């Protein structure tokens, strides 16, 4: 919403032709003088104050040696035109007590300055709209509801979540039972529910970080109730996931399972495979905490299958890593290696170095555990053949294969190939080149085995 092009030309022509001396001054000064000449003293005061704040921000940036990207206000006539157009119209309407028109003009300025550079100007007009909206009675509170939403957004962006929640709660209360829509056709009540649930989640995250589990659960229960009211199944499912995770963090496993199974039911009813896979993963975490490893493995295997079918590499990595951890704890190192290798391969596809490094270490440790089982078996056997195998391995550090007749024995591959370093129970030398990095993690552990 901007002042019309012809109106801008008319204003600039009038400022020069009617007041010919003014064109020697800056355009901002001419605008201010014209406001005063036409009796718009409030508009002049507001523009002058905003211009001073603009200059103060610029000066503060220079003091801190920051690069200030914006040009001075004097060099931006379009912005000055919009200030003049909407401020004077708002002031004229306020004199007649046409508060809805005042609101519309101030809101037009807020929309005009809704960009990253001018957000502080937008926030100024959000506050002005909020104060004016309280005076509007004819619309049943719709403008006040919109103003509460804008103030909630203002505080949310600044990280002041408690204040944001208060405004969103007022927004929600004002829109209950109403079928109001915004300019894009969205129902205001649904927007209120979404905003409030989002803010409650952010607040609960802070509480969980501080181990304030009861408070987090309390606020997430409110979020779940509001999500149900919004009749948005996806929002309801996400709220259930957050609540179930909070119960898990608090050690309330049975409650967590009940809530998370509700999440899986919602995902199933919507045919939402992605959320269903995440529900299975969350349920598996609870079962793992309860020591029910077999059930946890079942849920995680289903989660991996869903994630692969939907090409969700991050979900594959998380679920495979959890499976590897479970098998590692159970002492089933071959299965642990298999799942850690899958997690590593998925991270290679994503080309995320942090994930590659993490999964590589998990994979390397599991392979080292495999090696230690083999070596322990030789030591416990304690016959001549076993001792010869141990001595041969110590000299060559090559791989060990399983012979169905003789048991484990040393093989002697080409010592020049780095891929043939101890590969456990099977030969992985034909694997993807990326696996070599994971096997490298085993080498340092091998070097510490001085038998």
Coil, strand or helix at 441: helix
DSSP letter at 76 equals -
Domains in the chain, CATH or no CATH each: 233-310 (1.25.40.10), 312-451 (no CATH)
Residues 398/404/405/411 CA torsion (nearest 10 deg)? -10
What are 398's strand-pairing partners?
421
Phi, psi of 51 (to 5 degrees): -65, -40
| 144-176: burial string, b at 16+ Cβ within 10 Å, e else | bbbbbbbbbbbbbeeeebebbbbbbbbbbebbe
Label residue 292 left, alpha or beta by phi (over 0 means left) and psi (-120 to 50 means alpha): beta
Q: Per-residue confidence of the chain (451 residues) as pLDDT tens digits? A: 455 544 554 555 454 444 555 456 778 889 999 999 999 999 999 999 999 998 888 777 766 655 656 678 888 899 999 999 999 999 999 999 999 999 999 999 999 999 988 999 999 999 999 999 999 989 999 999 999 999 999 999 999 999 999 999 999 999 999 999 998 999 999 999 999 999 999 999 999 999 999 999 999 999 999 999 888 899 999 999 999 999 999 999 999 999 999 999 999 999 999 999 999 999 999 999 999 999 999 999 999 999 999 999 999 999 999 999 999 999 999 899 999 999 999 999 999 898 999 999 999 898 888 888 877 888 888 788 888 887 887 777 665 554 333 344 444 444 333 333 333 333 333 344 444 444 444 444 444 444 4
DSSP letter at 398 equals B
Concatenated DSSP letters of 313-371: HHHHHHHHHHHHHHHHHHT-HHHHHHHHHHHHHHHHHHT-HHHHHHHHHHHHHHHHHHH
């Amino acid at each position: 919403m901007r002042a019309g092009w012809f109106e801008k030309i008319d204003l600039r022509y009038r400022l020069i032709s009617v007041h010919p001396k003014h064109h020697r001054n800056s355009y901002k000064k001419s605008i201010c003088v014209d406001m005063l000449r036409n009796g718009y003293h409030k508009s002049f005061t507001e523009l002058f104050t905003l211009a001073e704040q603009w200059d103060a921000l610029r000066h503060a940036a220079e003091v801190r040696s920051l690069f200030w990207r914006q040009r001075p206000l004097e060099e931006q006539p379009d912005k000055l035109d919009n200030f003049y157009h909407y401020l004077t119209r708002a002031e004229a309407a306020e004199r007649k007590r046409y508060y809805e028109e005042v609101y519309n003009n101030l809101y037009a300025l807020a929309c005009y300055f809704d960009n990253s550079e001018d957000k502080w100007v937008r926030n100024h007009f959000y506050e002005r709209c909020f104060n004016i909206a309280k005076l509007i009675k004819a619309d049943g509170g719709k403008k006040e509801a919109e103003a509460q939403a804008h103030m909630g957004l203002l505080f949310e962006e600044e990280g002041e979540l408690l204040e944001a929640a208060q405004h969103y709660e007022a927004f929600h209360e004002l829109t209950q039972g109403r079928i109001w829509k915004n300019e894009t056709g969205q129902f205001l009540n649904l927007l209120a529910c979404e905003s409030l649930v989002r803010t409650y989640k952010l607040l609960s995250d802070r509480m969980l970080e501080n181990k304030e589990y009861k408070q987090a659960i309390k606020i997430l229960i409110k979020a779940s109730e509001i999500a149900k009211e919004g009749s948005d199944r996806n929002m309801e499912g996400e709220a259930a996931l957050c609540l179930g995770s909070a119960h898990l963090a608090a050690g309330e496993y049975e409650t967590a399972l009940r809530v998370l199974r509700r999440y899986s039911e919602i995902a199933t009813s919507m045919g939402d495979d992605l959320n269903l896979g995440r529900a299975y993963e969350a349920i598996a975490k609870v079962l793992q905490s309860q020591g029910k490893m077999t059930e946890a493995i079942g849920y995680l295997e289903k989660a991996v299958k869903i994630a692969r079918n939907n090409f969700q590499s991050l979900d594959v990595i998380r679920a495979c890593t959890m499976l590897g951890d479970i098998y590692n704890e159970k002492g089933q190192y071959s299965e642990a290696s298999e799942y850690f290798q899958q997690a590593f391969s998925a991270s290679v596809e994503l080309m995320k170095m942090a994930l590659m490094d993490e999964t590589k270490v998990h994979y390397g440790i599991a392979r080292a555990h495999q090696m230690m089982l083999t070596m322990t078996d030789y030591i416990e056997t304690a016959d001549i053949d076993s001792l010869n195998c141990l001595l041969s391995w110590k000299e060559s550090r090559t791989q060990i294969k399983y012979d169905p007749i003789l048991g484990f024995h040393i093989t002697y591959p080409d010592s020049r190939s780095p891929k043939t370093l101890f590969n456990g129970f099977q030969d992985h030398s034909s694997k993807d080149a990326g696996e070599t990095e994971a096997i490298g993690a085993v080498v340092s552990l091998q070097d510490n085995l001085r038998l």
